[in-house]
């Protein structure tokens, strides 16, 4: 598999077995150099596509499992338990160690904060603070089922059939297993969508964002529905697209953003009928899931919308940085909060302007953008203009970025900034809770925030620029046929040096 690199082809060699394939050690000087530690770049006469078991998809799934294990390990310091009574355990959660160790996850405290430990049912029973479950319906009942598994484990442990574990720990384990399975679906769908660039999907499997955010919240579930919907559109199954997007929106609302870039692609490809079918299927799925809960528990069901409408801008968002931090610091040195109604207006207005720009690009670009590229631009625009950008939201972008922008090293740089941003954010919170309040830590976090946002803007700008340039380097994101150069060195001239 790793014979002499860049062997000059003879006139008798049939290149049909390699034409159309992306060989990382040919197209990237960096990969070519790194491969010398394992035998050198792929040789001209190397066998391609003859491995019976270790297919690219299976290798990528193995890598995804490794990445998820690292992600679980990053949360492990927050999963300690201690015995409160003989045979009864609780997760050792408190003292702000979850911030000091950068292992914070929303899932562990949700078991208690949502009343699952007391048998509360989402949307029916409100919490002691007077509020109800603030997640969409499908995700709320998924958590309820995971809590039921925790109660069943505790009952089994009480009879000696199972080892005693803290119920919140069992709750986290059940949720983590579902999230891990969902991320394997993300990798599978990304590999199917990537076509001849399948090896680029290693960055979906081993993304630094996955290492720290896979088990912070439930966003991986929503990403799985979104990527499966994109694949269904590729397979000309509009009803399935709508069903998956609708169910995804009942888990995490962001999959509903699919219908804007989908409309642009459907208009261009004269598939407006398919877009309408997908929209109707999504609406049907949302009504089927939400109507029974809205009818029985109207106030609890509406909490999701009320909670998000009344939230102030959060520290991870650009709106917070510009309108809350910088503005007030310049005025009187104290951080204030932009009223929620004004934050909503700024967010919606800025997002609408960016959507208009994306539509203009889709309709005027020399090279027609793919659905994945438009979806990447849409979600990036949403995050940059949202009043809330929780750190785990960056998971939404990982598979889309890899499919839309095939320059792996640039994407890896952005993802490393996401990781550093998370670590600094955790340390900032720890400093605040411990009473230190070091302003240097706060400023460094905000600098990393600006760098993260700037990196995403630069990636989007490069992507848009390539769409207006004929023969641009990003054409291969659409699976364009590579060109083989003549001469002593065999390279892909139609591929970028990623």
**Which pLDDT score is estimated for 84?**
81
Residue listed under structure tokens 């596509």 = 49
Kindly list the domain boundaries of the chain, sorted by start residue: 53-310
Whole-angstrom distance, CA of residue 412 vs CA of residue 146 = 34
**Which pLDDT score is estimated for 75?**
95
**Which pLDDT score is estimated for 139?**
97
Per-residue pLDDT of the chain (498 residues; tens, 9 = 90+): 333 333 333 333 344 445 556 677 776 666 777 777 777 887 777 666 666 777 889 999 999 999 999 999 999 999 998 888 887 888 888 778 888 888 999 999 999 999 998 889 999 988 877 789 999 999 999 999 999 999 999 999 888 888 999 999 999 999 999 999 999 999 999 999 998 888 899 999 999 999 999 999 999 999 999 999 999 999 999 999 999 999 999 999 999 999 999 999 999 999 999 999 999 999 999 999 999 999 999 999 999 999 999 888 888 889 888 876 665 555 554 555 678 888 899 999 999 999 999 999 999 998 899 999 999 999 999 999 999 999 999 999 999 999 999 888 899 999 999 999 999 888 887 777 655 566 777 788 888 999 999 999 999 999 999 999 865 545 545 444 333 333 333 333 333 333
**Which pLDDT score is estimated for 327?**
54
Tokens of 366: 């020399």
Longest Cα–Cα distance in the chain: 79
Burial (Cβ within 10 Å: 0-12, 13-18, ≥19) of residue 3: middle
Asked if 313 and 387 touch (Cβ cutoff 8 Å), the reply is: yes
Asked if 61 and 187 touch (Cβ cutoff 8 Å), the reply is: yes
**Which pLDDT score is estimated for 408?**
87
Whole-angstrom distance, CA of residue 4 vs CA of residue 6 = 7
**Which pLDDT score is estimated for 49?**
64
């Amino acid at each position: 598999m790793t014979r002499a690199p860049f062997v000059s082809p003879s006139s008798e060699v049939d290149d049909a077995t390699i034409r159309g394939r992306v060989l990382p050690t040919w197209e990237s000087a960096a990969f070519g150099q790194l491969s010398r530690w394992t035998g050198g770049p792929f040789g001209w006469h190397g066998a391609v596509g003859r491995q019976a078991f270790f297919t690219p998809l299976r290798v990528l799934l193995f890598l995804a499992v490794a990445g998820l294990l690292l992600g679980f390990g990053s949360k492990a310091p927050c999963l300690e338990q201690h015995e409160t009574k003989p045979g009864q355990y609780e997760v050792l959660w408190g003292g702000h160690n979850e911030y000091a160790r950068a292992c914070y996850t929303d899932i562990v405290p949700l078991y208690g904060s949502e009343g699952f430990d007391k048998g509360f049912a989402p949307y029916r029973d409100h919490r002691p603070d007077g509020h109800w479950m603030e997640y969409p319906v499908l995700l709320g009942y998924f958590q309820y089922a995971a809590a039921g598994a925790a109660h069943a484990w505790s009952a089994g442990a009480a009879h000696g059939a199972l080892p005693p574990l803290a119920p919140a720990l069992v709750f986290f384990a059940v949720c983590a297993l579902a999230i891990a399975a969902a991320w394997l679906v993300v990798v599978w769908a990304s590999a199917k969508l990537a076509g001849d660039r399948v090896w680029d999907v290693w960055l979906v499997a081993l993304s630094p964002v996955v290492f720290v955010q896979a088990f912070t919240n439930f966003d991986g579930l929503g990403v799985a529905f979104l990527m499966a919907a994109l694949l269904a559109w590729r397979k000309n199954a509009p009803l399935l697209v709508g069903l998956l997007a609708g169910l995804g929106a009942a888990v995490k609302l962001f999959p509903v953003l699919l219908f804007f870039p989908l409309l642009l692609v459907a208009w261009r490809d004269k598939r407006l009928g398919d877009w309408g079918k997908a929209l109707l299927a999504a609406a049907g799925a949302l009504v089927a899931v939400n109507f029974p809960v809205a009818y029985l528990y109207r106030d609890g069901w509406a909490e999701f919308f009320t909670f998000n409408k009344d939230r102030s801008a959060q520290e991870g968002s650009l709106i917070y940085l510009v309108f809350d931090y910088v503005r007030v610091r310049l005025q009187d040195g104290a951080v204030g909060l932009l009223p929620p109604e004004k934050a909503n207006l700024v967010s919606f207005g800025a997002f609408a302007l960016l959507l208009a720009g994306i539509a203009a690009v889709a309709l005027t670009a020399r090279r027609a953008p793919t659905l994945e590229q438009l979806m990447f631009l849409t979600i990036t625009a949403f995050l940059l203009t949202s009043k809330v950008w929780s750190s785990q939201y960056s998971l939404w972008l990982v598979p889309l970025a890899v499919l839309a922008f095939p320059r792996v090293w640039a994407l890896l740089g952005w993802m490393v900034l996401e990781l550093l941003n998370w670590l600094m954010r955790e340390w900032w919170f720890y400093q605040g809770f411990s009473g230190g309040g070091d302003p240097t830590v706060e400023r460094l976090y905000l600098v990393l925030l600006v760098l993260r946002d700037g990196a995403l803007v630069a990636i989007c700008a490069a992507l848009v620029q390539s769409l207006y340039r004929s023969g641009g380097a990003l054409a291969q994101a659409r699976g364009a046929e590579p060109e083989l150069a003549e001469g002593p060195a065999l390279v892909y001239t139609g591929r970028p040096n990623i």
